[in-house]
Amino acid sequence: MELLIKSFLLWSLVLISGCNAAKEVTDEQQNRQQMTEQNTKDYSSEGFSKIIMVRLEESECPFVMVLEESKERLDPLNLDEGKFSELKNAEQEAWIKFRRLRRTSRCPNTSPVQLLEIKN
């Protein structure tokens, strides 16, 4: 009988300590996630869209922006203006505000846009 009680207490102790260890790991993961969210700002509430710049070799439009959420391809017509020229690094991510233009695109499968603002 005494052996049964000791076994029960031992297994209870193992189960309790195991639950606490899992809780600590979950807390650490949650803290890391909060730190990551603080480091990567989200400007979507301010009307910005996150894009990735893609360089197209041997094309009429040398750069195309790909919207992160919808994967839509945009043709920025005013990319050569001073404040937007920093976007010309391929595979760069940025937050932009843009206005769609009602005209034909220079590149296939893209929508022409005018850049309004940028946040890196």
| pLDDT > 90: percent of the chain | 29
Q: Is the CB of residue 75 less than 8 Å from the CB of residue 64? A: yes
pLDDT of residue 39: 43
**Superfamily of structural domain 44-119:** NigD-like N-terminal OB domain (2.40.50.500)
Query: Domain residue spans in the chain?
Result: 1-40, 44-119
* Residues 74, 25: Cα–Cα separation, whole Å: 42
Statement: residue 37 has pLDDT above 60? no
Statement: residue 17 has pLDDT above 60? yes
For 48-90, the pLDDT digits (tens) are 999 999 888 877 778 899 999 999 999 999 988 888 888 887 6
pLDDT, average across residues 19-34: 61
Q: What are phi and psi of 77, to 5 degrees?
A: -80, -25
What are the distances in angstroms from CA 24 to CA 12, 14, 95, 101?
19, 16, 35, 52
pLDDT of residue 106: 85
User: pTM for the complete prediction?
Assistant: 0.62
